[in-house]
Each structure stands twice: as structure tokens, then as C-alpha cells.
Amino acid sequence: MPIVRVALDIPLSTLFDYTVAEGIAVAAGQRVIVPFGRRQMVGVVMECVAATEMAPERIKPVTQVLCDSAPLSAELFDLLRFCSDYYRYPIGQTVLSALPTRLRSDKPVISRVTLSYRLSASGAALDLDAPPRDGGAEPSGAGGAAERLLPQSAGYASNVSQPFPKRKVVQRRILAKLAEQPCNLAQLKSLSATVGAQLKALVAEGWAESFLETHSSEGSPFDTSGRTATSVQKHTFDNAHMLTGEQQQAVDTVTQTSSYACFLLHGITGSGKTEVYVHLMHHVLQRGGQVLLLVPEINLTPQLEHYFRSRFPDVNLISLHSGLSEGERLHNWQQAQAGVAQIVLGTRLAVFAELPRLALIIVDEEHDSSFKQQDGLRYSARDVAIFRANQRGVPIVLGSATPSLESYHNAQSGRYRMLRLTGRALAEARLPAVRCININQTVMHHGISENLLREIGLRIARREQSLLFINRRGYAPVLMCTGCGWLSGCKHCAGKMVLHLNDKRLRCHHCGYQLHVPHACPSCGNADLHPVGSGTQRVENVLQERFPEARILRVDRDSTRNKRAWQTMREQIHANEVDILVGTQMLAKGHDFPALTLVGVLNPDSALYSSDFRAAEKLFAQLAQVAGRAGRADKPGEVIIQTAFPDHPLFLALQTHDFEGWAASQLAERQMAGFPPFVYQAMLRAEGKQETGVYAFLNQARAAAVALQFAVEILGVVPAALPRRANHIRAQLLIQGAKRKDLQQFLRAWQPLLDALPAQKLRWSLDIDPLEF
């Protein structure tokens, strides 16, 4: 009897063997339902083999073979096997976590096969606005019949645009909408209650035509015949922008590459990296390839989607991110798998999409830490994307204004190829002037300096926008008693409770615990409690008092909890209905606000003396990015940084827009100190309610590591940066290797020993190439 080896969502680093009844066809990559313990589980067949080491009486048969979705490819398996091995995560959980939720459920997938509608060739030739000939009557008699015949003659015969009867209001609206883009019935529903009947009439007349969104001839949503059928694509390309010399050179260099190569596209903010992406995509699409574009922020996907759709109006572009409904995500995933989706735009999970015709990968804002997953399979989507490009033999472009030091180092040492964009795409847009204000030598109003307030006043008078950037939400980061020095600590964590004045609460941002603001000090009874420091809400209040007429908008996680809120805010900003923006890093990323000419940075100093060796790198990237928001159109921008250390090299480098110099000094420091990218790291983390248990586990793990005698450096067991969270004690152990290979060999030997350690009542995890300390 044939045996299948099945990946299951079980935390064991093994596959599970099952038999298959005679006569049932099953292939690698298919999903199956199998008995596991008392449960029935969904798994993926990784291999079909002839024999098993399991005793015949113990092996169970597969319950059901699911044929509702195309099998996963061997190529995807290779990628997932690599991830499982590299990130030390069980193979079954790796495979299952890469799938859309619907494919992980044991219920058969019911695919939506939706009909879409578009204009026919003759429909496209209609003139919807022109006054009709013959006085506005509907075509009738001989003339009308002739016109009605026209569509059947494929429309090419007539280049003369015909007027459409004015009376048919709903039909006109439908045609106008379809002229913008193909739509399905649901998307047209808002036009009229009778839209179904009217659409039918338009199809019958030959003005519109229906087509299957999935391009599938048999109505099967996972037909892969699209791979060959669409090998050469013609698409409309809005080539509205002239490339600069540097942009053209970048495009040429990448398009001349037909095999694997990793490019670092280092372009200052406003230098037009996106335009380079557009031209690279155009090149790939013309040749029938698929493009995978990874972006860090789910918030950025709708506007990017809209932008790329406007540049490639008839290209099938889909998005993949966790904000989609389960049905949408499955549908889009299957479009990518069938080779029908030509551009796949997504957040980190999209790196695992099946892409049979993948020809180019782009990772935008490659330095962004959101590409790293912080739980479960702790992968870096950027690094997996590089492996994938290599596996597939296609080029990959990493884009950033402030590359990660890892990527920058690789580009300098020749592992990656550097592409530079040093000028802004719009000649009249200059880089903003950056200056520092010493907070110890100036008048401050609740954390905002008088100079900055004056500059904001000037912008309001000129009807320009200002942005105040502060990386703390809430009113104040802590509440203090002036009598005894009591601070609002969280009783479950080692952190402080943040004051939120809007609803008079203290909230812990680590565990979510909240309290009403006390009327008196819980420690000494003193009623004089003071907020210490500033958050977004406090800055908003100060500005309201100073500029009562100004329209102030606060953008942080609290004000954008509602799904549509951020979208609405962006529209307000673009319509110049806002004078001052106050926000956290949400505002720093990738948004283009043409009326914004002043950026004030409040309180960035904590990162300068952080224990995290990456804090300065992150701060530089964040400030360069937020500074890049100022003065993108024809108005020059200005950035004011409030700091107690105006002479710090980081701020000097920002003022001179000198990423190269800054990166060189940082890399030299890292090399001296023995930090990445000059070493490779793995972090073992443990947490549990009992301090002794957590430390005993880590100390045993350390002893086991030392006894292995590999060429790696084993550091001491230390408390985590937040040593207690939600009543759990947290500690960690760092391992470093001078070579990636050394570290990987060590981890392969170490992990089975960790699995064998007693670990009651605690959770532990391995994090390879950790970003958070």
C-alpha cells in the first residue's frame, strides 16, 4: 500500500506517515484530512513513499484527499523546507502557516467564480457624452437596427464614436464605470437597483461582455493553463514620466540581468524609486512574467495598489495581506498560484505565495523591521525573498532611502549590486533643511519649544501644513506623585502605565491592563499627581491652546483604531483641510503630502542611549523618512529636531543628508564591538511565571551549548529588555557566530537538546537573526 508523508500543524519537527486506500490517487502537494489522536486534521502531502518505519498495526489511513485547490509546487516546498531548517521551526507548522487560513481548515474550499464585465470593442468606441444625432431619440427603424448590428461586427470597422442614448441613464452609468475598469456585479450594485437587468441588456446589445476573473476555461479556479497561455502579454502602460539619467541606468542594469542578482536601490526620499519599480514591472509584464512586490505596512497597500493600477490599467494586480477577508485572501492566492495575477503586492506573508511565472521580486523599504515576523515562524520576509530569488534564478531589488546596515554592507562588499539615486525626481524639489534646537537652551511649552511654535504659526499663515512627530501615544508616558516620587507602574509588567487623559485612564501598552486615573497617590495619599513627559495627546492639547483656530489632526494607533479612519484622514490631509498633524511613526512611512513644509521632531533622544545596538540605526531611518515628508512638491521643506544633544553625529549626518558617512561610522563601530553584520546571531528566549524555572531552563540550555564545543560565542543568561510582562518573567540567551554556516551547524545540534530539556510551565523560542533585544 502506498504511504504518504504528511505535514501537520503540530509542534514536532517531523512528518507523519499515513496509508492511502487502493484506487485513490494522491500526489505531493495535495491537502488531505487525516486522523491525529482523537482529532481529524488538515495536512499537506510532502512525499509519496513506498515504505514506512512505522509498525503496520499503528499506521492509519488518510480520511480524505481534498481536491478543491491545486497542489502546492515542489518549488514552494523547497522554500518552506529551507525556512523550517534555517529558522529552526517545525516543518509541519512552517508549511501550514504559509497557507491562507481557508486552506488550513478541514472544510472544503468553496471557490467563488465571479463573472466580471468589461466594455466590448464597440462599447469602448461609444461616445457617452456627445449629444445624440437626430435629436436625442433612441435609435429606431433602419438606422437603429444598423447601429445595433455594429457591435456584432467586432467594432473595429467603425472608428467613428457613436453617441449613446441619453435616456438610458443607468446603462450609461454602467458603461462609464466599465470604461474606468472591469467590474463584477457586486461592484456595480451601487449604481442602481436594476443594475442586473440593465447589464444583461448591455451584454445582449453587444456593448459589454462578461469574462471569468480566473481565466479558467473549465470554470476551475485553479486551472494552471494560464502559465503557457499568457506567456506574452500586451498591456497598457501609462508611461507619463520621463526617467532621470540615474533612474534609467538603474532600470537598464536590472533588466539586463536574466539570472539571480540582488540589487540594493539606494535612493534618497523623493528620488523616484517607485518610478524605477514601475519600469521594471513593465519590462517583466511584457515578457509574461509575474512580479512580487513586498511592502512593510498594511496601511500602505491600498494607496500603492491604487497607484500601480493607474499605471497598469489592464494588468491583473492582486494584494495579499492580513487585512483581507479569508475569502479574498484565498481568491487572490489562487490567482497568483494559477499564474493569472501578474503583479502581487503584499506584506511579508506574500513572500510565500505560489508564483509559477515569477520573474522579479521587489522589496520596498527593505530596512523596515516589519518584514520580520515576531512570533511563530520568526522569518524575515526580505531574507526569504532573497533566498527565493536565488532559488528561482531571477533578480531581486531591495529599495530604501536608508538601507539596513546589513544590506548596505553586502552592497559595499560586492555581494549585492548597488544602484544609486542621488537626485530628487522633480528638479525643483530640494531636500529639506534640517536644524536642531537645544532644548536646554530655549523656552519650552510642555515639550514644544517656542521657536518651533513660531515656525508652525508662520506655516498656518501661509496655508501650509506642519507635522509634529513624537513616537509616543497617549497624554504622558507616566504619572508621578510630587510628594513621594511614586510612578504609575503596571502591576503586571516591569513597564510604566501611560496616562490617557481623553478617557481619564492609565494604560499599560505592554499587557493592556488599565485603571481609572487615581484621585490621590496610592502610596502617600498626596493629591498632587503630575504627568511626566509628552505623548501625542498632550502635544495636541498644547497646540490647541496656542492655535485655537488651527485644524489639528492626531494620527496614532488610538485615533486610527477604526478601519476606515486612516483613509479618511489621508483624504483630509490631501485636500489641505488640516493645518497641523501630530503623529507617531505611522505618519513617517511612505506617504506623500504635497502641502507639508515643516516637520518638528520631538524628543528623539532616548534612542541615543538605548541598550539596543540597532536603536541609532532605526532612529536615523525614521528621522530621514519623516524629514523626507517635508517639501516634496515645489515648496522647500524644513525640519526642526528638538534635542539635548544637538552635536550628536547622528543629527549632524541628518543635517548634511550624509547616509554614507553615517553608515560608514556605524559599520566601523559594529565591527569593533563585534555586532551584526559582522557576526550572526540567534536568541533563545524563555518566559514563565516562576523566575527560577525560567533561569534554570536557560542555564541548562547554556550548559548544553557550551558542551557542544562549536565555533560559536555563547553569551550569558540575562533578563529581557522588559524583564516582566503580563506577570511573566522573561529572560534570554544570545549565541553569536562569525560565520552563518557555523551558527547554523551549531543550532542543528543544539535544538534537539533544547527539545529534550524539562520546560514545564514555560514558553521558549529560538529567534534567528533577531531584530529585537
The set of long-range contacts for 39-42, using a CB threshold of 8 Å and a minimum separation of 24, is: 40/106, 41/8, 41/9, 41/10, 41/106, 42/9, 42/66, 42/96, 42/103, 42/104, 42/105, 42/106
The tally of CA atoms less than 13 A away on the side-chain side of residue 664 is: 5
684, 766 contact by CB (below 8 A): yes
526, 520 contact by CB (below 8 A): yes
DSSP strands (E only) in 408-496 = 417-421, 433-438, 444-445, 448-449, 465-469, 478-481
Only one of the segments 235-243, 417-425, 492-500, 575-583 lies at the binding site for Zn ion (rule: CB under 5 A); that segment is 492-500
Residues 6+ apart with CB under 8 A from 306: none
Under the criterion CB under 5 A, does residue 492 sit at the interface with Zn ion?
yes
Under the criterion CB under 5 A, does residue 520 sit at the interface with Zn ion?
no
Q: Which is nearer to Zn ion, 82 or 486 (CB)?
A: 486
540, 477 contact by CB (below 8 A): no
Only one of the segments 169-177, 281-289, 511-519, 731-739 lies at the binding site for Zn ion (rule: CB under 5 A); that segment is 511-519
Q: Which is nearer to Zn ion, 35 or 522 (CB)?
A: 522
Under the criterion CB under 5 A, does residue 523 sit at the interface with Zn ion?
yes
Q: What are the C-alpha distances in Å from 589 to residues 269, 397, 595, 704?
A: 11, 19, 17, 44
Only one of the segments 368-376, 455-463, 475-483, 543-551 lies at the binding site for Zn ion (rule: CB under 5 A); that segment is 475-483
Q: Which is nearer to Zn ion, 411 or 498 (CB)?
A: 498
Only one of the segments 360-368, 525-533, 661-669, 671-679 lies at the binding site for Zn ion (rule: CB under 5 A); that segment is 525-533
Q: What are the C-alpha distances in Å from 23 to residues 20, 72, 134, 676, 742?
A: 8, 22, 70, 55, 48
Under the criterion CB under 5 A, does residue 510 sit at the interface with Zn ion?
yes
Under the criterion CB under 5 A, does residue 215 sit at the interface with Zn ion?
no
d(Cα 719, Cα 224) in Å, to the nearest integer?
Answer: 52
Binding mask 151-180 for Zn ion (x = CB under 5 A): ------------------------------
Under the criterion CB under 5 A, does residue 524 sit at the interface with Zn ion?
yes
**Closest listed residue to residue 224, CA positions, set 354, 36, 61, 80:** 354
Residue 220 — φ and ψ, nearest 5°? -90, 125
Q: Which is nearer to Zn ion, 266 or 724 (CB)?
A: 724
- For the bound state, the minimum distance from the C-beta of residue 494 to Zn ion, rounded and expressed in Å, comes to 8
Position among 259, 526, 572, 606 found at the interface with Zn ion (CB under 5 A): 526
Q: Which is nearer to Zn ion, 5 or 507 (CB)?
A: 507
Task: List residues bridging with 735 in a β-sheet.
Answer: 682, 714
Under the criterion CB under 5 A, does residue 486 sit at the interface with Zn ion?
yes
Q: Which is nearer to Zn ion, 172 or 510 (CB)?
A: 510
**Closest listed residue to residue 353, CA positions, set 342, 337, 370, 329:** 337
Question: Is residue 451 classed as helix, strand or coil in its secondary structure?
Answer: helix
Under the criterion CB under 5 A, does residue 515 sit at the interface with Zn ion?
no
Binding mask 311-350 for Zn ion (x = CB under 5 A): ----------------------------------------
Under the criterion CB under 5 A, does residue 483 sit at the interface with Zn ion?
yes
- For the bound state, the minimum distance from the C-beta of residue 482 to Zn ion, rounded and expressed in Å, comes to 8
d(Cα 77, Cα 96) in Å, to the nearest integer?
Answer: 11
Amino acid 227 reads R
Q: Which is nearer to Zn ion, 34 or 511 (CB)?
A: 511
| Number of other CB atoms surrounding residue 213 within 10 Å | 17
Position among 82, 513, 547, 645 found at the interface with Zn ion (CB under 5 A): 513
Q: Which is nearer to Zn ion, 387 or 486 (CB)?
A: 486
Under the criterion CB under 5 A, does residue 490 sit at the interface with Zn ion?
yes
Give the interface size with Zn ion as a residue count (CB under 5 A).
15
Under the criterion CB under 5 A, does residue 508 sit at the interface with Zn ion?
yes
Q: Which is nearer to Zn ion, 533 or 628 (CB)?
A: 533
Written as nine digits, the cell of 332 is 487572490
Kindly list the residues in this chain that would bind Zn ion in the complex (CB under 5 A): 481, 483-484, 486, 490, 492-493, 508, 510-511, 513, 521, 523-524, 526
